[in-house]
Amino acid sequence: APAKTEDFAESIPAGVYAEKVLSVTHYTDRLFRFRMTRPEGFRFRSGEFAMIGLMVEGKPIYRAYSIASPAWDEELEFFSIKVPDGPLTQHLQKIQPGDTVLMRKKPTGTLVLDALTPGKRLYMFSTGTGIAPFASLIRDPETYEKFEEVILTHTCREVAELKYGFDLIEEIRSNELLSEIVGDKLKHYATVTREDYPFQGRITDLIANGKLFSDLGVPALDPAVDRGMICGSSAMLKDTKELLEKAGLTEGANNKPAEFVIERAFVG
Ligand code: A2P
């Protein structure tokens, strides 16, 4: 007999949202983006993450995903890696518009504006899918109310992996309202480490040797005016954090705002 709506409803765990996939964009064989419906009443702060899941053989599997869309958006966007044998991503990479994706009800995270003390310049350091929380924050007007200058750095292995970041900048530029708010406050600094490209190298090396600052025409890191957010692999977080601390910045948290915050990017 044909499946009835109730049959599916029964298989959705209680207390979680079941949302519809609206669009899927594949960037490389390792990266894709998807958008889905936003549940009514679901509130989050730009930069936070949620637990995203799928029913796999009758059981829900969840992983942490930064919400890549800004708090004002009526849809939710996510940027994901594809891991061939990843418990969730081997299935998630196959989703199509109309499919159901699960989301736990409570978002959380430290990459929020509230966790930073006031400053002039906000650095967002990201590698790979670590750009996701910043995709949210660079599209949030509040970021530009709080900071005079916003510098998004994105480092990937290959040039094709930078495309999502360039698409975001394009989207901001073509959004009349947002482009007016953002103006020339946002700078996008993209580098690759395993291919030829005009901008090359790990962000840690570019901070350490000062090339990041000379390329951007800004002074060296200064705890009086500069703030930072870091999102990438554990190794990248550790190394970048060390450099910020060396420059005199202290790590903050939601309950104790300070000069920089970190969060591990979803990896598999
Ligand atoms: P590299 O190619 O030199 O390893 P991944 O996909 O492995 O997370 O890497 C994403 C990007 O982060 C790559 O460009 C990678 O450079 C870079 N990366 C890896 N480890 C570190 C680290 N400890 N500090 C800074 N960048 C890193």
**Does the CB atom of residue 239 touch ligand 1 within 6 A?**
yes
**Does the CB atom of residue 194 touch ligand 1 within 6 A?**
yes
Distance 266 CA to ligand 1 centre (A): 14
Distance 128 CA to ligand 1 centre (A): 8
Write down the mean pLDDT value for the chain: 95
pLDDT at 163 over 80: yes
| pLDDT average, residue stretch 47-51 | 97
Nearest Cα residue to atom 21 of ligand 1: 236
pLDDT grade for 15, boundaries at 50, 70 and 90: confident
**Does the CB atom of residue 233 touch ligand 1 within 6 A?**
yes
Out of 3.40.50.300, 3.30.1300.10, 3.40.50.880, 2.40.30.10, which CATH number does the structure's domain 5-104 have?
A: 2.40.30.10
Residue closest to 45 by CA, chosen among 146, 166, 129, 119: 146
> So what's the pLDDT on residue 266?
78
The DSSP-derived string for 129-197 is GGGHHHHHHTT-HHHHHH-SEEEEEEEESSGGGGHHHHHHHHHHHH-HHHHHHHTT-EEEEEEESSS--
| Tens digit of each residue's pLDDT (9 = 90 or more) over 231-262 | 999 999 999 999 999 999 999 999 999 999 99
Numbered ranges of CATH 2.40.30.10 in the chain: 5-104
pLDDT at 11 over 80: no
The DSSP-derived string for 43-72 is ---TT-EEEEEEEETTEEEEEEEE--S-TT
> So what's the pLDDT on residue 268?
56
Distance 129 CA to ligand 1 centre (A): 11
| pLDDT average, residue stretch 62-86 | 97
**Does the CB atom of residue 156 touch ligand 1 within 6 A?**
yes
Contacts of 14 (CB under 8 A, 6+ apart): none
> So what's the pLDDT on residue 9?
54
Position with higher pLDDT, 85 vs 1: 85
User: Which atom from ligand 1 is nearest to the alpha carbon of 157?
Assistant: 14
| Tens digit of each residue's pLDDT (9 = 90 or more) over 103-130 | 999 999 999 999 999 999 999 999 999 9
Structure-derived torsion over alpha carbons of residues 48, 237, 200, 32, reported in degrees to the nearest 10 = -40
- Which 8-state DSSP code applies to residue 253? B
Residue closest to 125 by CA, chosen among 116, 117, 137, 134: 134
Architecture of 113-264 per CATH? 3-Layer(aba) Sandwich (3.40)
pTM score of the predicted model: 0.95
> So what's the pLDDT on residue 8?
55
Numbered ranges of CATH 3.40.50.80 in the chain: 113-264
